[in-house]
Amino acid sequence: MLATPKKYTLVGATAEGGTRLNAFDHALLAAGVGNLNLLRVSSILPPGAERTERLEVPPGALLPIAYGSIESDEPGELIAAAVAVGLATEEDGFGVIMEFSGRGSAREAEARVRAMAEEAFATRGIPLRRVLTRSVEHRVVRAGCAFAAVALWY
């Protein structure tokens, strides 16, 4: 069994590239996770995890991460990605991460992840104390990417 992450950081960025994959890679670099091996995880924030603004992980490390990402090569298209972290009361001690990506604005994407976090807590019957969000949007020039994530680390 892997160790439970003790820290989390919300990140997000957009980028252009020569191809959709290059745009994704450039967005990862701009978000600060491009030189890491991403391990996509489902959406539970570990109990007691501490929020930090700065991700401090050595290059090549394995990084558990929940993310929303969209790439497009349609010039002029508006794309967005967002994540939300819903935090329970101190007694319940954990959180739920929701992610979304699609066509539209960062504001629309953020509203969707916020609503998803609220529903996740209602379904669990647990009081929701707070919702943290990170959203980004990008108007595609040639090939673009919008990426938002919650990185879980040690």
- Write out the catalytic residue numbers: 37, 42-43, 99
Q: How far, rounded to the nearest angstrom, does the alpha carbon of residue 110 sit from its chain's CA centroid?
A: 11
**Alpha-carbon span 32 to 129, nearest angstrom:** 28
- Count each helix (H run) and each strand (E run) in the chain, helices first: 2, 9
Left (φ > 0), alpha (ψ -120 to 50) or beta: where does 123 sit? Answer: alpha
Radius of gyration, alpha carbons of the chain:
15
